[in-house]
Amino acid sequence: LTGGGTGGHITPLLAVAEQLKRQAPNCEIVYVGERGGRFGELTNSPLFDEVYQVSAGKFRRYHSTSLLEKLVDFRTIALNVRDAFRVMIGFVQAWFLLRRLRPRVVFLKGGYVGLPVGVAAGLQRIPLVTHDSDAIPGLANRVAGRWAMRHAVASEPGTYPYPTDRTVEVGVLVEASYSHVTPARQKQYRKELSLPAEGKVLLVTGGSSGAVRINTAIAEVAEALLSAHTDLVIVHQAGKGKAGIYGGYTHERLHVLEFLRPMASYMGAADVVVCRGSANTIAELAVQGKPAIVIPSPYLANGHQLKNAALLAEQGSAVVVQEQDIENTEVGLHAALENLLSSPTSRDELAQRLHKTAPENAAEKVASLIIEVAR
């Protein structure tokens, strides 16, 4: 199993690994991740029999940046050149690693590390299976996918740039720890996390790495929210090195951490979630049935989060705030939070609509596909 760069590429692998162990108890699962990656606590799972690391790099392709801006952005160009060498080194490392391991099948979830591992597997004619959560495949899957025997995808196969006879719709991968949250289960989560049993909990997360724009916006309105809602607790996953976003401001009902684990428990304890628009996060919210304010990143290549958020807005299954409007007094983050925190009915309606879109048994389907290809 390989994938990484963000926690959103790694946590789905845990779901697949769990199902593989259930369906084929004697299988040996090896995880190949990014050398120096930030998510070692995720990859230390007992579901992985062995863990290896190879060099990897990020190719920065910002959706909202004009061609002229890209041409004069020398810092980004330099970083991309540096990371291109890292990818080449990672390819050599992956090549020799796969020659030694001789896996029956390689499963590619995408992300930085997926590119060198996926290409090495393809060139060695090792059976390859990919999975795409978003409607537009990422770079790793687009490049390595040409060698894939099966493409597992989140939605209608015809919308993906893959041969339809090798493409299977399975849904978005969600860890087994996510399930529909009843009021009783929500109280249990709060007890486990030492959060108040009564009152409201707001969870803020910009993803495993944090999002500076969301961090700044919530830091600007936190004091006003806590003053207006005396039963409110804010739990904020700020990202590594970003927990100081509040400066000297502290409050007994404000909890700021770099990384939250287990996220399923924190999300389950929440009444409202502020988050980015990744397909994985949306699927997790849908499974649990949580009202959310989604702020899609406008910077990612192909604008896939913008497309995800547009679908949510069309369904009426989440409140969508565009990043350029985040400070707008009428349609910005503060206004959206006030509306939801003040209206249990609105929260319930959003939660019910989103829960209806929850994926079913995606990890089980992917595990079956991997076993089929391995045979």
Of 259, 298, 142, 143, which is closest to residue 153 (Cα–Cα)?
Answer: 142
**Mean of the per-residue pLDDT values for the chain?**
91
**88 and 146 co-located in one domain:** yes
Q: Quick check: is 178 in a domain?
A: no
First to last CA, the chain: 16
Band of pLDDT at residue 92, cut at 50, 70 and 90: very high
**46 and 146 co-located in one domain:** yes
Number of domains making up the chain:
2
Q: Quick check: is 101 in a domain?
A: yes
Q: The domain that contains 252 carries what CATH number?
A: 3.40.50.2000
**148 and 11 co-located in one domain:** yes
Residue 339: its pLDDT value, please? 97
Q: Quick check: is 351 in a domain?
A: yes
Q: Quick check: is 119 in a domain?
A: yes
6/63: higher pLDDT: 6
**329 and 282 co-located in one domain:** yes
**323 and 368 co-located in one domain:** no
3-state secondary structure of 46: coil
What mean pLDDT comes out for the span 148-172?
A: 93
CA distance 112 to 266: 27
**136 and 193 co-located in one domain:** no
CA distance 316 to 109: 29
Residue 15 has pLDDT above 70, yes or no: yes
**323 and 366 co-located in one domain:** no
Of 285, 294, 270, which is closest to residue 211 (Cα–Cα)?
Answer: 294
CA distance 336 to 280: 22
Q: Quick check: is 221 in a domain?
A: yes
**55 and 202 co-located in one domain:** no
**195 and 96 co-located in one domain:** no
Band of pLDDT at residue 321, cut at 50, 70 and 90: very high
Residue 104 has pLDDT above 90, yes or no: yes
**157 and 102 co-located in one domain:** yes
pTM for the model stands at 0.85
Domain hosting 270: range is 183-355
The stretches of the chain forming alpha helices (DSSP H) are 7-23, 40-43, 67-72, 74-101, 114-123, 139-144, 183-192, 212-228, 263-269, 279-288, 304-315, 333-341, 344-355, 362-374
Residue 272 has pLDDT above 70, yes or no: yes
